[in-house]
Amino acid sequence: MIFEVITLFPEFFRSPLEVSLLAKAREKGIITINLISLRDYGEGRHKVTDDYPYGGGGGMVMKPGPIIRAIRDLRSRDPRTWVILLTPQGVPFTQQVARRLSSFDHIALICGRYEGVDERVRCYVDEELSIGDYVLSGGEVPALVIIEAVARLVPGVLGREEAPEKDSFADHLLEHPHYTRPQEFEGKEVPEVLLSGDHARVRRWRREMSLLRTWIRRPELLDRPLREDEELFLKRLQGLDPEVDSR
């Protein structure tokens, strides 16, 4: 899978892309991440990429020309390139969106800056995404979030094909609690079921704890069809204090 990142600050990405999961996936050739400097498509001797907004107001707006030239350049080399504009006005990025994007071979991410991009850029992209309802300085952090979330769904990136399906949100639920050594830490014990060696019990406990944690912290995620045993478990929770934590 190939990611193209169109940004004014390619250097922003160098450290995150050289460590851990993404670095290993790049070394193996499973994913490719190309950092494209928008300055290369800037206008005039000074490679200008932004200008004052029509109508007045503070801040600067990213010009349409440099961005659209970058998009056209990418599509001239691969017409299948899926172009995404990162913007607060975009569709919320979720695990389901990540799963959909993982089916693409070639994705381009446009990182906005300043007050945003010229509205006409929207006519040249395939979709717009937002990672949340808060203010950031630009699209670089969202681009990193999307790259990691999508890349880890690409076969071979994690090394354990089953791992992505057990993460939080993979099946619309928060993940169950995790424990490791020591068995007792400052008076807090590992749940007995995890020491039992009974794999069926462990699987049932983990599923129930996942449901409990979701019910307490993100109940809106449970607004979907559940299995009969899950429905019964949730009904038994109705008498619990909602402040109870699954820890």
Catalytic residue annotation: 88, 115, 152, 167
Cα–Cα distance measured from residue 124 to residue 67, given in angstroms and rounded to the nearest whole number = 9
Cα–Cα distance measured from residue 205 to residue 240, given in angstroms and rounded to the nearest whole number = 17
Please check whether residue 118 is in contact with residue 64, taking contact to mean a CB–CB distance below 8 angstroms: yes
Structure tokens at 146: 């999307």
Please check whether residue 61 is in contact with residue 73, taking contact to mean a CB–CB distance below 8 angstroms: no
Beta bridge partners of 213: none
Instruction: Tally the C-alpha atoms within 13 A of residue 6's C-alpha that lie toward its C-beta.
Output: 28
Which stretches within the chain are classed as H helix?
A: 20-27, 64-77, 95-101, 140-151, 199-217, 228-237
